Structure formats: structure tokens, C-alpha cells
Chain A
């Protein structure tokens, strides 16, 4: 029951707090690509891979009181902060599933901006194609982001690095 919810709760528990819906979306996608068994389905969207399922599931977790969502008004948009609640911790205690330890990966992800994670997740979306094709795709689907060569190089290195940590 609610296995996929429980998997996400492990993520929120390990992350302690998450700022930004976009960042959360990209973090889960990148973790998926590192073989963490999240099952939310992703499609390509404005900001790269995006999961409707994840968005709905996180809202359900908020409705259930397992995570709290706080809005922060920024100059021209709203930023969201997520944190696990006492009920959420109790849920996790009762619902035991096996999940790999993702603490270090999460730390690496939290340290990066959502813009960078957007680049990384988009590159992972096109994984399997030759590197030059991936770079070409990045510029085609994200012309407004103007990613630089050094950002793209850094993202390639980052993908190798995050897959190596436990």
C-alpha cells in the first residue's frame, strides 16, 4: 500500500528540507537515473524532464499531513519549501520498505542550483545519444537558457561523480 508514497517519504526524510518544486522534480529524476527505485513517470517539459505523477503524489503527501509545504513570496513568483512532519515520520516508521541510502547523493544535489540540475536532468534525458548530439539537443530544447560550454562540461563530470557516490 502506498509504496511509491513511502519511497518519496524516504527521500524527504533523507533530504531534511527541499526548496523549490523544480529542484525537487529534477532531484528525483536524477536519482532515478542513478538507479534509486522511484517509479514516477517523467516526460519532457518546459524545464526538462517533469513528472505529473510526482507533482500529484507530493500534493497528496501534503494533504495527508506527511510533509509540510510552505510558500515564500519572491519578487515575481512563489517558492515552495518542503519538510517531513511528525505524522510523516510515524508513517515511515510503520511502513518499512527497503531503499538504498541516498544521503550523499542528496547532499550533492542540494548543493547545486535548480538551473544546473535542469541541465543535468535534460542531459540524462537524452542519455544514450552521442555526447555531441546531447549538446546539440540542449541548445535546441533550451535556447533561452544559454548554457555555456563550461556548464555543460561540468554537468557531464557531475553525472559521472554522482553515480560513483553511494
Chain B
């Protein structure tokens, strides 16, 4: 039997808190899961620094990747024998679903910004490079790894296959919303996925939703909206991310200025040089990052030591609301006052912005459209979701942005109360004099 058709003697199952069970019958999938590159995802947290806000959020990219695979497996099961669905694409879809996040590194968001990396680039490299994953995919058929890479890159010719993995209602989002809600413990993020899967239909090059399932989709869109603002953009999580990002910048700065670390940061060297190869990239997971942060708490450099101590012990920055337009001058003055107070503003004063667009519909001629969610009406016509749903229409195309100013409340509190520099800082931040506290990072 060709490798691509090989089935396990007995179906394997992974117990899963979100989908109850993840079922694996294909030998290829089983082999992919067993590779070092896929197992590495166990050591990358799905939600980065969110565990410092929601203590349950310790789940990994490994959990999520299996979850996306399971959702696709169920969708494909429902699509079997339907017109417009090509069952030859089954294994391709399953592999792409399983491997779509393969290139994520530790605390992806901060690392990507600090070292100018792109996890999608590494996903492609792992799939197409000299890796265990690549060898397995090429055993399926020559050129199969390229197909998987193209689906994940959204450049595969069959757009139906692409839209299952990446669209406004895809398996990726359906898994992470539910999984992140489960592990953070919040009550948002839940929706009736079984219902959505039952009403999904393949039509030409897209997946549409039977109009009878519209309310389940409304629930999904609202869940996404709430999760972004209640979980993903939580100001405390962002405070931890600001500190993390400052650690990386400080360590890089020290490296570039020939600082002697107590332990040579071997694992970071190519990152500092912004010349990261696949081998180095795969070696750096969160366990290694935490190891270095632990060590850097003992470093001679006061800034690196302090930032690591903050991150490891959750001594986060405070924050206030900030309007960059109205408060630009204040920010400049604050920056100077921080310098005068001996607090380096490059590492201890930061404005962080978060934006989200919960759902958008197709507007011909415009560029920033996303694939719309189309409803399949009983007469066979398609209608874009927001034209039928008042709830979705209310949030369609509406972007929301939030700016916050982060600073170390404890360092400000430590300044002498009679110091005019402190008094002016407190005035600008609109803070209580003695405590130096904005909103608590609790």
C-alpha cells in the first residue's frame, strides 16, 4: 500500500479538553506528530505572556495544532461525497492543518519584533528544508511538501482548501477561540462549533454556511470580538510583553556593545546578529529562554538584571490610558524627566497600541477586504453574512484601537517626594504622589 494511504492498525486518540478526542488513523499524520520539529511545539506556549494574567493559560502550540487538525478532519468527514469537494485533497488538508503553526518560536510576537523574524517564513523552511517533517511529506509523493507549504502560505491553487485553514471562519480560529477560552477560564469564546461544522458547505472555491446556521456564526463572531479585547489585548499581558521586548532589546544592545555575559548567550547569538538559520531557530524554545532569563537576573548590567527579575517574578509595569495625538508633548517631556530621574526611558517608558477588526466584508475595488462569510440561502443564492445579520453588521468593518502608556510604578514611588522631577512626572501621569501607581498589573 502506498505510504499516503497507509492506515494505523488501530486508530489512535489524544484526549483533548476542547474536542474530547483527537482521532488519528493516517500513518502520515502519526509520523508527523512524532517528529522533533512538531514535538518542539510542546515547549511554545500558545498565548505567550498571557499566563501572567490568566494563570491557566499554559497550553501550547502543540495542543492547538492537534485541535486544528481535528476540526479539519471533522469538516472533511462532512464534505465527503459532496459536489465541489475533491477527496484527493484530504491528506493535504490534514497535513496543512497540523503543521500550520510549525514555525512559531518562543513568545513569537516579541521575538519577531525584536529580531526581525517571521514565523511564517520558518514554517515554510521547516516544511521545505532538510527536516524530519520534510522527509515524511516527500514520502507521500514528490513535491507534496511544496503543496503543504503553499496551502499554509495561501498560494495554493485550490482556494477551497486554503479557506479551510485560513479565512474569517476557519479551523484555526475555531480552535484557538475555544481552547484559549478553556485555558484562560473566561466565559467568552464559546460557540456552537458542532452546529457550524454541520452547516458548512463546499461551493466552488469557497466554504459557505447554510443560512439556517447564521445564529451560530453570529455567536462565533461575537466570541472572537470579546476574546480579543478581554484576553488577547489584556493590558496586563501587554505589560509583560513590553518588559519581555525590552529584555530582548537590552540583551541585543549589550551583545552589540561587547558586554561580557556571565554565560555566553550561545542560543541567542544568531538572533542578536539577525542572521538566524533553521538549526538555531529550532533550538530556541521557551525552556531555553527561561533559562537565560533566570541567569540574567544575576548579571552585572542593572537594566537587564532588573527587567529579567520583573519578568520572572511578575513585577510588571503600571499603565495609564494614553492618546498619542493629544499627549505627544507630554510624552517627550516625560521621556526627559525619566532621564533626569535616572530611569532610562528607552527601557522603562513605552506606549503600546492594540487594534482589531472583528469582521469585514468584501468591498469591490478595495484592498483591505478579507474573505467574506457567505450564507447559502434556500434558493441556492449566496448572501454575505453582514447583509443578513444585524449583530454582525453592527461590528463589520469597525476597527478599534487602544493605546496605553507603560512605566515602572515602583521606581517612580522610590523617588524622593520632594523631588520636583518626581512631582512633575506624577502630574503628567496623573498619579497619586507617594505610590507612583497607575492601574495595577494585577
Chain A residues proximal to chain B, CB less than 8 Å:
1-2, 5, 20-25, 39, 41, 43-47, 50, 52, 55-57, 59-60, 63-66, 74, 76-80, 87, 90-91, 94-95, 126, 137, 140-141
Contact = CB atoms under 8 A, between A and B. Distances in A.
Given A56-B357, A56-B399, A43 B364 contact: no
B264 interface: no
B420 to A, nearest CB: 24
Contacts of B356: 56
B401 A78 contact: no
A41 B118 contact: yes
Most chain-A Cβ atoms within 10 A of its Cβ — which of B112, B154, B324, B363? B324
Contacts of B112: 41
Interface in B162-218: none
Contact of A60 (B355, B368, B369, B371): B355
Given A41-B118, A44-B153, A59-B399, A25 B113 contact: no
B416 to A, nearest CB: 27
B363 A59 contact: no
Given A25-B367, A77-B363, A45 B355 contact: no
A1 B293 CA distance: 25
Contacts of A94: 328-329, 332
B365 interface: yes
A77 B401 contact: no
Interface of B: 112-113, 116, 118, 120, 153-155, 157, 324-325, 328-329, 331-332, 349-351, 353, 355-357, 363-369, 371, 399, 401
B364 A76 contact: yes
Contacts of A20: 367
Given A1-B324, A23-B367, 12 more contacts: A21-B366, A44-B155, A45-B154, A46-B369, A47-B367, A56-B356, A56-B357, A56-B399, A74-B365, A77-B365, A78-B365, A140-B157
Contacts of B363: 77-78
A87 B368 contact: no
Contacts of B368: 21, 25, 50, 52, 55
Nearest to A37: B116
Contacts of A87: 325
B350 to A, nearest CB: 7
B324 A2 contact: yes
Given A39-B116, A64-B324, A94-B332, A2 B351 contact: yes
Contacts of A50: 367-368
Contacts, number: 80
B141 to A, nearest CB: 19
B369 A63 contact: no
A21 B324 CA distance: 24
A59 B311 CA distance: 32
A25 B153 CA distance: 18
Nearest to A43: B154
B324 A137 contact: no
Contacts of B371: 46
A94 B330 CA distance: 11
Contacts of B120: 43
B422 to A, nearest CB: 21
A68 B369 CA distance: 20
Contacts of B116: 39
Contacts of B365: 74, 76-79
Nearest to B350: A1
A57 B399 CA distance: 10
A39 B331 contact: no
Given A64-B324, A94-B328, A140 B155 contact: yes
Contact of B401 (A63, A66, A74, A79): A63
Closest 7 A-B residue pairs measured CB to CB?
A77-B365, A22-B367, A56-B355, A64-B325, A1-B351, A55-B368, A21-B367
Contacts of B324: 1-2, 5, 64
A120 to B, nearest CB: 15
A65 B331 CA distance: 17
Contacts of B401: 56, 59-60, 63
Contact of B366 (A5, A63, A66, A78): A78
A95 to B, nearest CB: 8
B325 A66 contact: yes
Contacts of B353: 2, 60
Most chain-A Cβ atoms within 10 A of its Cβ — which of B153, B157, B325? B325
A166 to B, nearest CB: 23
Nearest to A46: B369
A57 B401 CA distance: 9
Contacts of B369: 46
